[in-house]
Amino acid sequence: MVGLLGPDFLFGIAIGQLSSARRSVKADRKLSKGMKWTYRHAFFVDMGGIFLTSPDFPEGFPINAQQFHYLIKHDYIDFPNMDEMHISERNSADTLSRLITMWQVLWFSIAEIQRARTGLPLTTLELTALSYAFVIIITSVCWYRKPAITHPRNVPTKNDKTIDEIRAAIKETTHPNLDLGVWYRTPVDFLSGPRWRIEAHWSYYVRLSEILHIPLVSRRMNSRPWNRFPSDMWLPPDLFYTPYGCFILLWFSASFLIAWNFQFPTEVEQQLWRACSVYCAVFMIYGFVYYVISWYMWKKAIEGNGVPRSRPGPRSVRKAPLNPTTLLSGDQEQAIDTDTVILEARSCPKGPMRVIHRLLAVLGRMRNISIDKDPEMAVPLHVMIPVTITCVVYTFCRLFLYVEDFLSLRTQPIGVYYTVNKFIPFLGD
């Protein structure tokens, strides 16, 4: 579904996951004590393939690469033998299916490029498919070493330490501000450091779609602690990959402008296509700038904290059952930042201003709609409002481009029915 919304989103997720794997390989090879540690292993951890188990959490919970690194470095778990976990048991079949898919995409792309080279017209449907194919190829390259998870592998704590004991030891050593009575997602989630804002904002809209009963992306997370990592989690990218990502996204955003002078059934459709294409290109530039700023803020937060900060919270959620359908209730509402304008009805002014104040109150409550009310998942109003508006417009523009891809087929020049050499596209002119 993410790919349908836009392969650019899927590429953003992929490049972040590749960056996290790269960071893990560089950091954990020093701790592996001669054991093999590859990109495939790092991907496996970030996918939730390793569960941390303990006497107080016998079923375990997933840990990501950052948490894995910390626990290894501080001797809370032994470095696992990844070869014994047989994580490559399904990779042969997966690799074959990926290669077949990539070959089909590549063959289609070559054929369409040949059509353009020989002067044959393209349809908007072919142009859309070609632009998607380009991004999908790059995304597949980013995920080339990403394995499939048949089932998670358990890694126990050393000396049968409980998670509570580990958290207490961490508080005494590296995280003095850790509140031992509070955690979100998993008991060691705080080891991931400051939350990247892109992930918080993406999670906000995923949660909003669940509340509206139109889940468009990942399955709803109902377990406490988490029993998996959503496949659409956004991870911070490396600066190393940023220029390449910029080029790919700018090319994709501008690709729909190629159809500026294509033949359309009506002039209205042509003008609408042009307007939507321009907006998609501008939105992509706006999104990229926002992406870079969020990365800079995350990097500054990481470098500015010699000791990674612990995430605060109003109360313990470790044993408290949560109702995933509840938007706000009692103590959970206190987790929302108090700088939000939330007014009681009795204090609201009369007349039209009363409506405005009530609207602000609703928006204030909507700042944090995460199930466990993690304070770092709150979205400021000055971000939520413009991002929501621009994303809604982008969605409608993207939807129009999809619909027009098929509507425009009713009137096309005769050249679209000509084909290039079906065996070797660049021969047979």
Condensed to tens digits (0 to 9), the pLDDT of residues 320-330 reads 333 333 333 33
pTM above 0.75, yes or no: yes
**Residue 225, preceding peptide bond in cis (omega within 30° of 0):** yes
Q: What is the mean pLDDT of residues 263-272?
A: 95
Q: What is the mean pLDDT of residues 375-404?
A: 90
- At residue 381, the 3 state secondary structure works out as helix
Q: What is the mean pLDDT of residues 418-426?
A: 62
The per-residue pLDDT for 318 is 40
User: Do 369 and 327 meet the contact criterion of CB atoms below 8 Å apart?
Assistant: yes
Condensed to tens digits (0 to 9), the pLDDT of residues 231-250 reads 888 999 988 888 888 888 88
Domain ranges of the chain: 2-314+380-410
Over pLDDT 90: what percentage of the chain?
36
Q: Indicate the DSSP class of residue 239.
A: T
Condensed to tens digits (0 to 9), the pLDDT of residues 181-239 reads 899 999 999 999 888 889 988 988 888 888 888 877 777 888 889 999 998 889 999 88
Q: Are strands 153-156 and 50-54 parallel, antiparallel or unpaired?
A: parallel
> Bridge-partner residues for 186, per DSSP?
184
Over pLDDT 70: what percentage of the chain?
84
d(CA 133, CA 137): 6
User: Do 310 and 175 meet the contact criterion of CB atoms below 8 Å apart?
Assistant: yes
The alpha-helical segments, DSSP class H, found in 29-123 are 39-46, 65-73, 91-117
Q: Is the pLDDT of residue 3 over 90?
A: no
